[in-house]
Amino acid sequence: MSHQPCAIVGIGQTHHKSRRWDVSLGGLVREAATRALADAQMEWGDIDAVVLGKAPDLFEGVMKPELYLTDALGAHGKPMFRVHTAGSVGGSTGIVGAHLVETGRHRRVLAVAYQKQSEGNAQFALGSGKGASIGAGGAFAPYMRSYIHRTGAPKDVGPMVAVKDRRNAFKNPYAHLRIEGISVDSVKDSPMMWDPVHYLESCPSSDGACAVVFTDKKGGEAAARAGRPPAWILGTAVRSEPSNFPGRDPVRPQAGIDCAADLYRQAGITDPKRQIDCAELYVPFSWYEPMWLEGHDIAAVGEGWKMVERGDTEIGGAFPVNMSGGVLSSNPIGASGLLRFAEAALQVRGLAGEHQVDGAKLALAQAYGAAAQYFSMWIVGSALDSAS
Amino acid sequence: MDGTEEIAIIGWAVTPMVRTTDKTEAQLLAEVVTDAVADAGITRREVDFTCAGSCDYVAGQAFSFVSNIDALGAWPPKSDSHVEMDGAWALYEAWVRLQQGDLDIAVAMGSGRSSTADPALIYPMEMDPYYLAPLGVDAVSFAALQARALIDAGITTERQMAEVAVRTRGDARTNRSAQVSGVFDVDSLLSHDFVRAPLRPHDLPPITDGAAAVVIARKDRALELCDRPVWITGMAHCAELHYPGMRDLRHSPSTTSAASWAGIDDGPIQAAELQTAFTHEEPLLVAALGLADDVPINTSGGPLAANPIMATGLVRIAEAARHIRDHGRNRTLAHATSGPCLQQNLVCIMEGSS
């Protein structure tokens, strides 16, 4: 095995907004990257390689933007790598970056993911400019209806997730949406978008970027000695499955089950709900919180919505989920996965500010994409033996 | 290389290269994955990791790679990734992934159907969207600027460029996959008008539809499965500034860096496959790589014989591996590139004996 420990020592993100017209694409990614470097107490020259992730190039109208962004991300004279795995891409970007350190290819790697949705029209691009796109909400709504039908979950569960995540967003200075006075009733009173998803149960369109600095064991230990706690990567996993065939269950996709099982095995986790302190899951529409709790074997099948109803997934609950406010509060699509991964790392570093889960030592992050076909996940710990 | 798992290429496949295919990208990939795993003597089920390289703008559709996953046979679900880069970078990710030590076999793919649109309209979209894309300058025009810089510097001449076209397309006659091949005459080529001065039609690659897949394995599995594994002894890539105006177009320092990191100085190179989509790029890259005068370059015909965008670089790796497995050479080099005027370059070095 060539596998060596990898530490996260720098995290940065932009203030996510509907329209960041104050910055170019280059300015946006640089804002996140500069903050990550400052957090890591590194200079641009300290970075050995850059990994860039984002969702479809058609969203901004820039093809292979890693070429143009080489300059803004200080990658001249360095390896610049571009990942695109649909909505899971932010997570995949972090994983590809971490692997460059774990395999000893590089000592310090910068992973950056972004989307600037205001530069284009995602709905138009999803239909490849040909119209007729039902959009992500329309695509996922049947899966959510099926989940409700199968489990008998009460109709309030989705709105409860929406309220929790939007309230968490008030604790996160970078979050996009701040919906004063949001309540289960106000969510249910908002327009029905794609049954069962109301307007206030749907993610926003955001401009934003996220950046993470990875380093090796020596670098992680040095940061710890200097009083800057690192997050240690205890496992990474990705899985993909085909889009449509009769044996596929899109409500609880096999790729998500396998991805989590692989991850838990790597990290030595046998009882995820008990051992993991908190999770950042990719929940662009409210019902995906209970669906992923079941889909990644945190809750038993049919039991995920009960965790929501009990308040387990609140900060302070038994298994906090999306302390940052989640995708429901900020959704720069390509960055949304890396934001989940970064928030998990912030939690185990104890640097999550007002949305910190007390004593979090082991945190899970997940992102998914396409028709719930692509999964990327990691587990980070405050120490290399956090899971034991 | 210290601390690096020994990983070998154990099989590959490339589609016939054609101006226009009636197949989808997923069909092209299904063919090459089927043929490549057969070449490696395995089944899809034995593949632990897959990574594809393709481009939504070439396909004309957002998330175009999602339907390509049908080509993998990703059921049960697979550890899988995708890069919006040439398949050569997909191979790089797969090569790094196997170095984690927990997986044995990976397949890297590259695919593109350039026939579905006009590359001259698409390629300006890869430039800086604020200052360069609005100019509408296409890849051929940027290449012409670089060719002019090389000619002015005495690094090549229009005649030498034509000689590259004649040589590679002549060599392509023995490559069953090649799209453009035959016997051409330098003087008659030089009698044609410029497409963009100083580039004439023969200096440009064809527009090609095609795909490629390469199977790699860690040492123990490679030795079990293959009589002549082709060992990847080094692979690295490097980017340069995006703005052609900020670079010295007479040189390719990122190619030199990538080659150095990949270990080019550890021994002589016996053959090279370079992603020279334009004739003038050959002398530039040969100099950047420090290749000796007698090193055969692009005996497959290279990109001037077939240029399946997003697979062209991966095909170079397959062809460089073929030199070792099928033609008795022991140390070869493949090069891939992306971006205007060779902005980003990858070098892969292979050896026959472990």
- Domain boundaries, given as residue ranges, for chain B: 7-116+208-230, 119-206+231-351
The pLDDT tens digits of the residues spanning B89-114 come to 999 999 999 999 999 999 999 999 99
Which residue would you say has higher pLDDT here, B26 or B1? B26
| Residue of A160, A182, A375, A154 whose CA lies nearest to A282 | A375
The pLDDT tens digits of the residues spanning A201-213 come to 999 999 999 999 9
The secondary structure of chain A in percent helix, strand, coil, rounded to multiples of 5, reads 40, 20, 40
Q: Which residues of B touch A242 (CB under 8 A)?
A: 69-70, 74-75
Say whether B119-206+231-351 and B7-116+208-230 share the same fold: yes
Please provide residue B249's backbone torsions phi and psi, each rounded to the nearest 5 degrees: -70, -5
In a domain, A129, yes or no: no
Q: How close is the nearest chain B Cα to the Cα of A312, in Å? A: 30
Whether pLDDT at B186 is above 50: yes
Which residue would you say has higher pLDDT here, A119 or B5? A119
Q: Which residues of B touch A96 (CB under 8 A)?
A: 81, 93, 96
The pLDDT tens digits of the residues spanning B130-178 come to 999 999 999 999 999 999 999 999 999 999 999 999 999 999 999 999 9
Q: Which residues of A touch B79 (CB under 8 A)?
A: 237-240, 262
In a domain, A81, yes or no: yes
Spell out the residues 6+ positions from residue A222 whose beta carbon is closer than 8 angstroms to its own.
Answer: none
Contact yes or no for B81 and A239 at CB 8 A: no
Asked if B183 has any chain A CB less than 8 Å from its own CB, the reply is no
Res B1: pLDDT: 42
Asked if B100 has any chain A CB less than 8 Å from its own CB, the reply is yes
A254 near B76, Cβ under 8 Å? Answer: yes
The pLDDT tens digits of the residues spanning B322-341 come to 999 999 999 999 999 999 99
Average pLDDT value over all residues in chain B: 96
Cα(B255)–Cα(B253) distance, integer angstroms: 5
Res A386: pLDDT: 83
Helix (H, G, I), strand (E, B) or coil at B197: coil
Contact yes or no for B57 and A63 at CB 8 A: yes
Rounded to an integer, what is the distance from CA A388 to the centroid of its chain? 25
Element holding A278 (H helix, E strand)? strand A278-280
Asked if B69 has any chain A CB less than 8 Å from its own CB, the reply is yes
- Spell A116-137 as b/e; 16+ CB within 10 A means b: bbebbebeebbbbeeeebeebb
In a domain, A150, yes or no: no
Res A131: pLDDT: 59
Residue of chain A minimizing CA distance to B337: A67
Q: How many domains does chain A have?
A: 1
Ranges under pLDDT 50 in chain A: 1
Query: Could you say which residues from 123 to 182 on chain B have a Cβ atom under 8 Å away from some Cβ of chain A?
Result: 123, 125-130, 132-133
Res A129: pLDDT: 63
Q: Which residues of B touch A52 (CB under 8 A)?
A: none
Cα(A261)–Cα(B293) distance, integer angstroms: 54
The DSSP code sequence of A180-211 is TT--HHHHHHSPEEETTEEGGGBPPP-EEEEE
Whether pLDDT at B354 is above 60: no
Domain of residue A75: give its range: 6-122+205-225
Q: What is the DSSP letter of B288?
A: H
Cα(B86)–Cα(B109) distance, integer angstroms: 9
Res A128: pLDDT: 64
Spell out the residues 6+ positions from residue A221 whose beta carbon is closer than 8 angstroms to its own.
Answer: A7, A230
**Fold observed for domain B119-206+231-351:** Peroxisomal Thiolase; Chain A, domain 1 (3.40.47)
A87 near A368, Cβ under 8 Å? Answer: yes
Q: What percent of chain B has pLDDT over 70?
A: 99
Contact yes or no for B55 and A238 at CB 8 A: no
Mutate to test the interface with B, among A57, A68, A216, A378 (most CBs of B within 10 A): A68
Query: Cα–Cα distances in Å, from A299 out to A161, A307, B234?
Result: 16, 8, 45
Res A243: pLDDT: 85
Query: Could you say which residues from 2 to 61 on chain A have a Cβ atom under 8 Å away from some Cβ of chain B?
Result: 2-3, 24-25, 56-61
Q: Which residues of B touch A60 (CB under 8 A)?
A: 129
Q: How close is the nearest chain B Cα to the Cα of A315, in Å? A: 32
Cα(A249)–Cα(A37) distance, integer angstroms: 42
Q: What is the DSSP letter of A58?
A: G
CATH no., domain B7-116+208-230: 3.40.47.10
Asked if A311 has any chain B CB less than 8 Å from its own CB, the reply is no
Query: Cα–Cα distances in Å, from B130 out to A26, A333, B105, B110, B212?
Result: 10, 22, 43, 29, 34
CA B278-B280-B282 angle, 5° bins? 90
Asked if B75 has any chain A CB less than 8 Å from its own CB, the reply is yes
Res B239: pLDDT: 98
Cα(A7)–Cα(A107) distance, integer angstroms: 10
| Residue of A82, A95, A54 whose CA lies nearest to A259 | A95
| Residue of B208, B161, B216 whose CA lies nearest to B350 | B216
Res B2: pLDDT: 44
Q: How close is the nearest chain A Cα to the Cα of B181, in Å? A: 31
| A53 token code pair | 């992730």
Q: Which residues of A touch B78 (CB under 8 A)?
A: 239-241
| Residue of B308, B314, B312, B322 whose CA lies nearest to B350 | B322
Element holding B314 (H helix, E strand)? helix B312-327
Asked if A82 has any chain B CB less than 8 Å from its own CB, the reply is yes
Whether pLDDT at B119 is above 90: no
Cα(A42)–Cα(A349) distance, integer angstroms: 18
Q: Which residues of B touch A247 (CB under 8 A)?
A: 75
In a domain, A254, yes or no: no
CA A175-A180-A186 angle, 5° bins? 115
**pTM for this predicted structure:** 0.98
Q: How close is the nearest chain A Cα to the Cα of B139, in Å? A: 13
The band of B60, judged by pLDDT with boundaries at 50, 70 and 90, is confident
Query: Cα–Cα distances in Å, from B334 out to A120, A200, B168, B315?
Result: 38, 53, 16, 9
Contact yes or no for A67 and B67 at CB 8 A: no
Res B255: pLDDT: 98
Residue of chain A minimizing CA distance to B127: A68
B336 near B314, Cβ under 8 Å? Answer: yes
Q: How close is the nearest chain B Cα to the Cα of A85, in Å? A: 6
The pLDDT tens digits of the residues spanning A6-24 come to 999 999 999 999 999 999 9
| Residue of A33, A54, A174 whose CA lies nearest to A114 | A54
The pLDDT tens digits of the residues spanning B253-284 come to 999 999 999 999 999 999 999 999 999 999 99
Whether pLDDT at B41 is above 80: yes
Out of B56, B81, B89, closest to residue A57 by CB: B56
ipTM, 2 decimals?
0.97
Cα(A27)–Cα(A19) distance, integer angstroms: 13
Q: Which residues of A touch B114 (CB under 8 A)?
A: none
In a domain, A299, yes or no: no
Asked if B219 has any chain A CB less than 8 Å from its own CB, the reply is no
| Residue of B50, B34, B350, B84 whose CA lies nearest to A238 | B50
Long-range contacts of A139-144 (CB under 8 A, 24+ apart): A139/A371, A140/A194, A140/A197, A140/A284, A140/A285, A140/A288, A140/A372, A141/A194, A141/A195, A141/A196, A141/A197, A141/A285, A143/A250, A143/A251, A143/A291, A143/A372, A144/A196, A144/A197, A144/A285, A144/A287, A144/A288, A144/A291
Out of A80, A237, A243, closest to residue B344 by CB: A80
In a domain, A50, yes or no: yes
Contact yes or no for A259 and B55 at CB 8 A: no
Contact yes or no for A64 and B340 at CB 8 A: no
| B30 token code pair | 């299904």
Q: How close is the nearest chain A Cα to the Cα of B161, in Å? A: 27
Contact yes or no for B77 and A76 at CB 8 A: no
Question: Between β-strands B49-53 and B105-113, what pairing exists: parallel, antiparallel or unpaired?
Answer: parallel
In a domain, A116, yes or no: yes
Contact yes or no for B69 and A59 at CB 8 A: no
| Residue of A287, A255, A282, A256 whose CA lies nearest to A336 | A282
Q: What is the DSSP letter of A385?
A: T
Q: How close is the nearest chain B Cα to the Cα of A1, in Å? A: 4
Q: Which residue has the tokens 């293959």?
A: B226
| Residue of A46, A363, A64 whose CA lies nearest to A235 | A363
- For A7: left if phi > 0, alpha if psi spans -120 to 50, otherwise beta; the answer is beta
Which residue would you say has higher pLDDT here, A243 or B19? B19
Element holding B286 (H helix, E strand)? helix B281-289
CATH number at residue A46: 3.40.47.10
- β-pair partners for A23: none
